[in-house]
Structure 1
């Protein structure tokens, strides 16, 4: 068996194992439904209705899933292009697939209870993002010239692993919102949940916009639309920081509208990148080469995932004045 075929088989096996692992982890066990029902019935009935917190938690699960899907597709393409030279390059594929399955499970879960296994999967995703960032920094610095513009442009992208970190972080936040559904206010480690998530999402938008700015600078901003992901998201981040600072009892309609704009921007970015692929020699007829060498198709939806997280935070802020 050739090395290329072996690599493809290993990649497929890794994805299949991640799906099987997700099914094994998330499958309901016998008698667990009755136990959980008893736990829900035993919860105190004081405080706000859990519907608000559960709805926000499910939205955050969806945002984490969008980021995980983006990472799964992007890392599959980029690491395949790198020929999986290091076996660790399979890790983000497996972890992002598991995180995506976990997020789908959380999105469908209507119960006002945190899920320990989902917590574990999200923490694994966050740890993978931190370790991946370290690996990418090492990849850049070990090249001739070290930390230079040339290596930043063409080495391992420094900001890419942060997407799976953000996915795990937002998913972990969703579980914290769930477990405070019956509390006087949704909290995370003693902090108001909605305002904390808004601040985290704003920081994520800044980092993602910085990564897009570096790669679009490499492309010399030859298309005016390439300036959009380096201008709109920082404004959205500033709006979220403002909401986090002045969140109590406010609806923030302009910030919500801006998050919807960023959601659409992320989806439209896939179309622009597809157009960029078509402009390479051979266009889509030579897709097997141009998808690898053209602008990354799965990258823009990361903005959509973060914008959805911002909408979840703003929705919780609007529905619960103390969040």
Structure 2
């Protein structure tokens, strides 16, 4: 009977080490501050993009200003959450929940806009391409979701 030589254990890949580090950061509470900062950056980027897209539509509906105004509020709340545990547990979740609600409202308004185009939902492909971007408001909802997640995570001591 011949014996097979044992394989030596290989070192974990960079990806595995990265996942392990992320899990450790979540467990120790370090990730909460990082996610607060990411919320701040995401809020600024999405508010800027929304501003340009809604400006192309001449801000035809007053609600188009809501995500533009909420972007800087989310950014300030996210930065405050980086530096203050109190802000991360109070101001950030309020701002983030408002952003999520506005993103869901925007999805409904964009769906209504697609339906109001000539042909409505029957002419779906054309109206999705030429009408308001149906899924774009969900991107700002993700930014708000990051803020909500940051608010419920443990903070490092």
Query: In which range does the TM-score fall when normalised by the shorter chain?
Result: 0.7 to 0.9
1:299 pairs with one of 126, 130, 136:
136
Structure 2: 5+ residue stretches without partners: 1-13
Larger-gyration structure (1/2)? 2
Structure 1 unaligned regions, length at least 5: 1-114, 120-171, 187-191
Taking a change above 3 Å as real, the CA distance of residues 176 and 270 of structure 1, as seen in their structure-2 partners, is farther
**CA, structure 1 residues 226+194, in 2 after alignment: closer, same or farther (shift >3 Å)?**
same
CA deviation vs aligned residue, 1:257-277 (integer Å, no higher than 9, x gap): 221111121122111001111
- Aligned twin of 1:262: 99
Q: CA RMSD in A?
A: 2.5
Query: Size of the alignment, in residue pairs?
Result: 144
CA change 1:177–1:205 in 2 (3 A) is same
TM-score, length-normalised on structure 2?
Answer: 0.79
The Cα of 1:321 is off from its aligned counterpart by 4.8
Alignment check: 8 A CA contact 1:250 1:321 kept: no
Q: Deviations over 1:150-208 (max 9, x none)?
A: xxxxxxxxxxxxxxxxxxxxxx7xx64313466xx34xxxxx43212211221111001
Mapped contact 1:267–1:300 kept (Cα < 8 A) = yes
What CA deviation, in whole Å up to 9, does each residue of 1:49-104 have, x standing for no partner? xxxxxxxxxxxxxxxxxxxxxxxxxxxxxxxxxxxxxxxxxxxxxxxxxxxxxxxx
1:206–1:234: 8 Å Cα contact kept in structure 2? yes
The question of whether the paired residues in 1 share the 8 Å contact of 2:78 and 2:88 is answered with no
Report which structure shows greater RCO (CA 8 Å, sep ≥6).
2
Equivalent-residue separation in structure 1 for 2:113 and 2:144 (angstroms): 24
